[in-house]
Amino acid sequence: MRASGIVIAIDGPAGVGKSTVGKMVAKRIGYSFISTGKMYRALAWKALANGLGLEDDEKLVALARSLRWEFPKGAGPEADVSLDGKVLALELSEESVSRASSSIAKLPGVRLFMKDMQRQAGLSGGVVMEGRDIGTNVFPDAELKIYLDASPEARAKRRVGQLKEQGMPADHAQILDFIVKRDAQDSGRKNNPLRKADDAHYLDSTSVPRDQVVEAIVELFKAAVK
């Protein structure tokens, strides 16, 4: 066991509920929660704001290095990252940021920067970390690995619900199309593609209520720390 507990890695495709479930699990067991998706989104958002090319690995890494990264707790349900003291929340869920984050996530330099930062953040344990490559690349030594899955249809439906709640426009067919394309990009890339780690527990949440998914992970956690 690490100083503050174990590392729980939750990986899976876009819109599967990794953040919601991960936060609920973290709260239940008194762990902190880290969304690595938000890290890629925050860098993408900043790159777009600065008019930086999304293919320029070197410039993106230099930008990432120049920023002060913090992961505030309790700053709001969607606020997981702050850059130079600015808490980023709803701006990170814009579709342009989703696409840009998936695009910069292909670049090896960007990925290495993120991996270092993510390892630093989780090394002492007591953390639930969600992403695409946590169990395979960032923490291959995580004591508990979950691969959370759901059909693209179910994920699109959930996303439409979320956007409507936030008062944002939502078109099911378009969102389904975005999800399928982002899946293909995240699974098809050369560097640390989305895939289930061999030793990860596979949970399909297509027709399972969220509370039950949380319950299942809490049970796996209890068994892992026994």
Instruction: Report the residue from 6, 26, 46, 133 that binds ligand C5P according to the rule CB under 6 A.
Output: 133
> Interface with ligand C5P includes 14 (CB under 6 A)?
yes
Helix, coil or strand: residue 121: helix
Handedness of CA 135, 147, 93, 99 (dihedral sign): positive
Question: CA 125, CA 183: separation in Å to the nearest integer?
Answer: 29
Interaction mask 47-86, ligand C5P, x per CB under 6 A: ----------------------------------------
Instruction: Report the residue from 136, 182, 203, 214 that binds ligand C5P according to the rule CB under 6 A.
Output: 182
Minimum distance of ligand C5P from residue 91's CB (angstroms): 13
**Cβ nearer to ligand C5P, comparing 3 with 110:** 110
Rounded to a whole number of angstroms, the distance between the first and last alpha carbons of the chain is: 11
Residue 74's φ and ψ, nearest 5 degrees, are 75, 20
Nearest to 22 by CA among 77, 60, 72: 77
Residues contacting residue 159 through CB under 8 Å, at least 6 positions apart:
15, 170, 175, 179
**Cβ nearer to ligand C5P, comparing 36 with 82:** 36
Instruction: Report the residue from 5, 17, 22, 37 that binds ligand C5P according to the rule CB under 6 A.
Output: 37
Question: CA 111, CA 68: separation in Å to the nearest integer?
Answer: 17
> Interface with ligand C5P includes 46 (CB under 6 A)?
no
**Cβ nearer to ligand C5P, comparing 6 with 34:** 34
Q: Which residue has the tokens 């709260």?
A: 27
Residues forming contacts to ligand C5P in the complex (CB under 6 A) are 14, 36-37, 40-41, 101-102, 105, 131-134, 182, 186
